[in-house]
Amino acid sequence: MSKTARLPYDAAEFLDTEDDVVAYLNAAIEDGDAGLVVHALRNVARQRATSLKPGSSIAVDLQAVERALSEPGPVQLAPVLVAIKALGVKVQVARY
């Protein structure tokens, strides 16, 4: 029986445009899994941080967001809301 090789996948590498980021976050939110939303926000923070100069105030803020979203335990709303604002996106509620 042959083994299937698994290559590492990093979603942040594919978030090239603001539309990509919006679609990615919307898909995570629509899934309804809080852990997936936090994971998606971490990926976006990482993607944004890699495009900035190390040590810049924005890069430091994004690193803080990534750390806050990486804390173990149940998902807390406060770090998620901070991350959303820091990433320059917003969440809206609509009836479905």
For 27-37, what is each residue's pLDDT tens digit?
999 998 888 88
Indicate whether 7 belongs to any domain. no
Indicate whether 94 belongs to any domain. no
Indicate whether 47 belongs to any domain. yes
Please compute the mean of the pLDDT values over residues 48-58 and round it to a whole number: 68
Q: Report how far residue 41's alpha carbon sits from residue 31's, in angstroms, rounded to the nearest whole number.
A: 14
The domain tally of the chain equals 1
**What is the share, in percent, of the chain residues with pLDDT greater than 70?**
84
Q: Report how far residue 85's alpha carbon sits from residue 80's, in angstroms, rounded to the nearest whole number.
A: 9
Predicted pLDDT at 96: 67
**Which structural domain range is residue 55 located in?**
35-89
Per-chain mean pLDDT for the chain:
80
Write 27-34 long-range contacts (CB < 8 A, 24+).
29/91, 34/75
Kindly report whether the global pTM for this prediction surpasses the value 0.85: no
Indicate whether 63 belongs to any domain. yes
